[in-house]
Structure 1
Amino acid sequence: MSLRSNRIAEQMKKELGDIITRKLKDPRVGFVTVTDVEVTGDLQQAVVYISALGNDREREDTLKGLQKASGFIRTEIGHRIRLRRTPEISFEFDSSVEYGNKIDALLRSLNDE
């Protein structure tokens, strides 16, 4: 990733957190944390990695709600960040959070023994 796309990804991450918590009114979207944003070098695509609280069904509903609102979110990003073209946004769950929690649990169980 280039320096520019890194900068834009960081700026998008900050703005996305604000947009999702303050502007989005979809009842399916629960408590969401934007963990990372990856923007392609040509600034056409952005993958937003999220973590969400709840069981599997609630998390899937959250993802569906975010994907449904991606047009609105993209428009909001376009107003906040000055770019010629705002990247297409797609959402994915960040598995690294769960992986980290699993490793943490394993280390705790070893420590307890």
Structure 2
Amino acid sequence: MNQLRANRVAEQMKKELGDIISRRIKDPRVGFVTITDVEVTGDLQQAKIYISVLGDDKKRQDTLIGLAKAKGFIRSEIGKRIRLRKTPELSFDLDDAIERGNRIEDLLRQINNQDDEL
């Protein structure tokens, strides 16, 4: 039962975070951010937010720094939008699944091209 509620809270947070980050955060370090996933612990005390950032490594790191600075504001906005007894503690991590997927796709394409040449 706890995990079901945690999943529902995570989905709601994912939707709200996308809106908050795109419309309310004015920090120039925060680039084009996509919320790829939110994991909330069963006790709803902590939330790990996975993001994807358009740009190079420096832009990704700057975005993480900007989001870390705005963590208190983001948390208070989440608290206003989602009715919870206690708003989860937020942590932001880069999601490299898309990059890994693209790398795998490139490798498979290379293997396929080598097979065609033989």
Residues 1:25 and 2:22 are matched in the alignment: no
Unaligned runs of 5+ in 2: none
Q: Which has the larger radius of gyration?
A: 2
Identity of aligned residues (%): 69
Tell me the distance in 1 between the aligned counterparts of 2:83 and 2:55: 35
Counterpart position of 1:79? 80
In the superposition, the TM-score normalised over structure 1's length comes to 0.95
Measure, in 2, the Cα distance between the counterparts of 1:5 and 1:109: 41
Q: Count how many residue pairs are aligned between Structure 1 and Structure 2.
A: 113
Give the C-alpha shift of residue 41 in structure 1: 0.6
Give, in whole Å, the separation in 1 of the partners of 2:76 and 2:46: 14
Once the two structures are superposed, the pairs formed by residues 92-103 of structure 1 within 5 Å of their partners are: 92-103=93-104
Match of 1:64 in 2: 65
Partner residue, 2:15: 14
Runs of 4+ in 1 over 4 A off after TM superposition: none
Shift of residue 79, structure 1, vs aligned partner: 0.7
Provide the aligned C-alpha RMSD in A: 1.1
Report the TM-score, using the length of structure 2 for normalisation: 0.92
1:4 maps to which residue?
Answer: 5
Matches of 1:108 and 1:14, distance apart in 2? 35
